[in-house]
């Protein structure tokens, strides 16, 4: 299987959320991927999430909980959802924990569980997917 080189920062699309060109930090040290959300609540076993300020609410009938440990060792319970994500023109279904990433530079983080789909990280590069797409569609 040929591995696709990915940079330390990549821009991806979340088509089901109509959230395009989202800057993502690639972090091979993080086990799970993470996505910014503004608000969430559970009603009748359905997770309702608002990803952008003043954005519409997205419903998840299938979700779970995950314990996430930060680099300082603190554990936090988060919701875990599967979302379609487009990178290099290909749609992947990836699992994301949901958290407020307002204080972070990037609204999304791609961790090892996603990178196992066939990616190698070259930390000297960034926006490899975007640059490749621009070469294909001038």
**CATH code assigned at 57:** 2.40.70.10
Domain assignment present for 137: no
pLDDT in tens, 30-86: 999 999 999 999 999 999 999 988 889 999 999 999 999 877 788 999 999 999 999
Domain assignment present for 134: no
Domain assignment present for 32: yes
CB under 8 Å to 137, separation ≥6 — which residues? none
Domain assignment present for 136: no
Hunting for tokens 């995950």 — which residue is that?
Answer: 66
Residue 25 lies in domain = 4-126
In the chain, what's the furthest Cα-to-Cα distance?
48
Domain assignment present for 132: no
Q: What percentage of the chain has pLDDT greater than the value 90?
A: 82
- Decide: residue 69, CB within 10 A, 0-12 exposed, 13-18 middle, 19+ buried: exposed
Q: How many domains does the chain have?
A: 1
Instruction: Look up the pTM and report it.
Output: 0.89
Phi, psi (5° rounding) for residue 102?
-55, -40
Domain assignment present for 138: no
Residue 2 has a pLDDT of 85
């Amino acid at each position: 299987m040929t591995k696709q080189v990915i940079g330390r920062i990549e821009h991806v699309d979340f088509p089901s959320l109509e959230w395009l060109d989202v800057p993502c930090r690639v972090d091979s040290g993080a086990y799970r991927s993470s996505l910014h959300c503004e608000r969430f609540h559970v009603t009748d076993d359905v997770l309702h999430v608002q990803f952008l300020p003043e954005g519409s609410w997205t419903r998840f009938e299938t979700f779970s909980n995950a314990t996430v440990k930060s680099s300082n060792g603190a554990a936090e319970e988060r919701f875990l959802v599967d979302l379609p994500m487009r990178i290099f023109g290909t749609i992947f279904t990836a699992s994301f924990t949901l958290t407020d990433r307002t204080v972070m530079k990037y609204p999304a983080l791609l961790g090892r569980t996603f990178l196992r789909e066939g990616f190698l990280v070259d930390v000297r590069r960034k926006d490899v997917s975007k640059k490749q797409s621009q070469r294909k569609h001038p």
